[in-house]
Amino acid sequence: MFEVREVLRLWLLGYGLRKIAAMVRSDRKTVTRMVEVAKGLGLAAGDSVEGLSDEFVGGVVSVMRPPKPDRHGDSWALLGEHRSKIEAWVIAGDVPARKMVELLARQGVVVPERTLNRFLAAEFGSAIESTVRLVDGEPGVELQVDFGELGRMLDEETGKRRRVWALVFTASLSRHTFVWLSFTQNMTTVIDGFEAAWEFFGGVFAVVIPDNMATVVTKADALDPVLNQGFVEYAQARGFVVDPARVRSPKDKARVERAVQFVQTSFWAGEDFGCLVEAQTAAEVWCHSRAGLRTHGTTQQQPAVVFAQVEAPVLLAAPTERYELPLYRSAKVHRDHHIEVAKALYSVPGDLIGRQVDVTANSKLVKIFSAGCLIKCHPRQKPGGRITDPADLPSELTDYAMRDIASQQRQGFSRGDSIGAFVETVLEGPLPWTRMRHIYKLFRAADRYGNDRVDQACERAVDAQCANVNIVIGMIERALETEQAAAEPVPDNVITGRFARDPEHFAAGKGARS
């Protein structure tokens, strides 16, 4: 009742049936039937939503779902009356379900073939397989893709005979086919094959229907397959949608399944190619001539001619630049706030030491992601290179790590003019960063004793052309001791010694011996 009420409410608000089906996640035919039943019960466009009472919605539900004791319809009951005859056909094993439907119809028993298949599965444990041909679809929309094994060939790079794979592309409507040969099935091979296919076809198809190859589908599922991140980004760059076939469902991509067999028998069989490059050149000639200009058994037309007339004009624009396959990595943030990607170091912001971050890199940029969010983007560095953004490092360590002398001087003048002048004096000369620790010690003294005291001591040190931080700190400490001593009161109960002698008693006379 909740679903029916929501559908009718949206319809009264003016939404279209297709939009309603998407919003409630229901089939459009079901949504249409709900609205038609409601119209039959008196609901009209423009009525108030308040009229959708529980009684009215319940009436719509009851019409759509009439009570059935066994949850089967009238067709199922008719099949049950002729069960013995159907059982005889099943035992014979030579009467397909479609033929059973015809034989029953001659006797006045008209039932859908789908109902008969469900009846056979429920009553006899298995249904007789039937096939319904899929429509070809619209021109330039669907491109089916699949890998097929051809045989073995000598790999000139390794000197060994290796298995040769054919990545076959077939347009669903025209059946025009392109073949890309390789020794592997990795992501680079797949991307190179797609790039060559777009060049061959002169454009990009709107929807690609691939097999569940690992380079495209990470986790296969009939409803929600998990696609490979790298291939998804490639699809986004080229503007097509990926709709993978179901596992062990060759009928989902029947056009390319048949094309793979045709490539194996017509192109590869009996040939002896010297190398993969020679074989690829021959494959492209074969696609244009033998495969493209033959009369197709189903369409009774030449695939290349149909493609040029109907599909080529409506394809998406062909890419103008070669696609660069990004590098995908998971990197650990080290104690120095950097990660290593392709033997180069890049700084990472935030307190992420010890955590894993995701990295996407091409020849120009390195993008760093944490928890799905882009946190940093660096120019790509060569192996052995390093790039550090001072803003990524802790503020108390940035100056020292980056050897930022100017920042040290600015901090000194912010504490006092004499402190700034003393800092400039200390950092004068070659290799100033070797004396940065002296400045840190001076700043710690300023935090401990106050900027005013340190500024006065620095003023005296600058006047005396002194550049020693320890002397400045010693001056401050001695001044503090003097102030403390002066501030202490003189005790009034000092006792003079009983036998104390006058100092003149110890003075040497003129005739005293030296």
DSSP-based three-state secondary structure for 375: strand
Handedness of CA 122, 126, 129, 135 (dihedral sign): positive
Its CATH architecture, for the domain 142-314, is 2-Layer Sandwich (3.30)
DSSP-based three-state secondary structure for 393: coil
Sheet containing 386-387: order of strands = 338-341, 344-347, 386-387
Tokens 């793979």 -> residue: 260
DSSP-based three-state secondary structure for 432: helix
Contacts of 499 (CB under 8 A, 6+ apart): none
pLDDT one digit per residue (tens) for the chain, 514 residues: 778 888 888 888 888 888 888 888 888 888 888 888 888 888 888 778 787 888 888 888 877 776 555 567 788 888 888 888 888 888 887 788 888 888 888 888 888 888 888 888 888 875 455 566 778 889 999 999 999 999 999 998 888 999 999 999 999 999 999 999 999 999 999 999 999 999 999 999 999 999 888 889 999 888 888 998 889 989 999 999 999 998 888 888 889 999 999 999 999 988 889 899 999 999 999 999 999 999 998 899 999 999 999 999 999 999 998 898 888 889 999 988 899 998 999 999 888 888 999 998 888 899 999 887 889 999 999 999 988 887 777 655 555 555 667 777 787 888 888 888 888 888 776 767 667 778 778 888 888 888 888 888 888 888 777 878 888 888 888 877 777 777 666 666 655 555 566 667 667 766 555 4
Q: What share of the chain is helix, strand, coil (3-state, %, to 5)?
A: 50, 15, 35
Torsion of CA 70, 76, 79, 83, to 10 degrees: -30
Contacts of 140 (CB under 8 A, 6+ apart): 171, 173, 203, 205, 206, 310, 311, 312, 313, 314, 315
What was the pLDDT predicted at 140? Answer: 92
Angle of CA points 122, 126, 131, to nearest 5°: 110
Angle of CA points 279, 283, 288, to nearest 5°: 155
What was the pLDDT predicted at 514? Answer: 46
Distance CA(368)–CA(310), nearest Å, equals 44
Which one, of 181, 172, 123, lies nearest residue 150 by Cα? 181
Instruction: Report whether 117 contacts 79 (CB < 8 A).
Output: no
Query: How far is residue 293 from each of residues 296, 299, 394, measured CA to CA in Å?
Result: 9, 13, 68
Distance CA(359)–CA(377), nearest Å, equals 10
- DSSP assigned state of 335: T
Distance CA(13)–CA(33), nearest Å, equals 18
DSSP-based three-state secondary structure for 346: strand
Which one, of 393, 334, 324, 389, lies nearest residue 361 by Cα? 324
End-to-end CA distance of the chain: 127
- DSSP assigned state of 214: T
What was the pLDDT predicted at 62? Answer: 78
Segments making up each domain of the chain, as ranges: 2-64, 74-124, 142-314, 327-393, 396-487
What was the pLDDT predicted at 129? Answer: 57
Tokens 């403390």 -> residue: 484
